[in-house]
Amino acid sequence: MDRLGAPRPAARLVLGLLAAVQVTDGFYALLLPRSFYEDFPVGRGWVEALPAYNEHLVRDVGSLFLATAVVLIAAAVWLDRRLVLVALASFLVYSVPHLIYHLLNLGPFSTGDAIAEAVTLSLTVIAPAWLLVVMLRAGSPPGQPPPRSPSSS
């Protein structure tokens, strides 16, 4: 384990997947707001099921997804401990309330869509939370190297 406090490949994978989702959804909402509202994901209409449509709001959400993606991509590329911690924390500030809202509003969906939504949104909380916990358990404050184990002295 290096200064990151987590396995570098796992950190890159989690950050990269989260960034890919944010980029995809962000461009979709920003460039095709009506389609994002009516069809997301892949024709299922999950956003439309919880109305009402507001083009300004959908475009703003798309832009915010892209802004989040920039931080996640930077964290995945540089794997700087502080940057990764900030990226994970900021993503969780978004994804935890997002998950809670959707879990409390599954009524308009079919059973299959409700399960798919709950599972996919839960993964957007579980994966970054896992990585954050692993990094914080490494025992060093952000920007500091982890403590040396007795065997490495």
Q: What's the CA gap between 71 and 49, in Å, rounded?
A: 30
Could you tell me if residue 55 is inside a domain? yes
Could you tell me if residue 143 is inside a domain? no
Could you tell me if residue 149 is inside a domain? no
pLDDT of residue 152: 44
pLDDT of residue 141: 56
Residues 12 and 84 sit within 8 Å (Cβ to Cβ) = no
Could you tell me if residue 79 is inside a domain? yes
43-101: pLDDT as tens digits: 999 999 988 999 999 999 999 999 999 999 999 999 999 999 999 999 999 999 999 99
Provide the number of structural domains found in the chain. 1
pLDDT of residue 3: 87
pLDDT at 104 > cutoff 70: yes
Q: Tokens standing for 83?
A: 């940057």
Could you give phi then psi for residue 2, rounded to 5 degrees?
Answer: -100, -160
If one compares 12 and 51, the residue with the highest pLDDT of the two is: 12
Radius of gyration of the chain (CA): 18
Q: Nearest CA to 92 among 3, 8, 6, 15?
A: 15
Q: What is the DSSP letter of 151?
A: G
Instruction: Give the domain range for residue 81.
Output: 8-137
Mean of the pLDDT values across residues 100-123? Answer: 97
The model's pTM is: 0.86
129-152: pLDDT as tens digits: 999 999 999 965 555 555 554 454
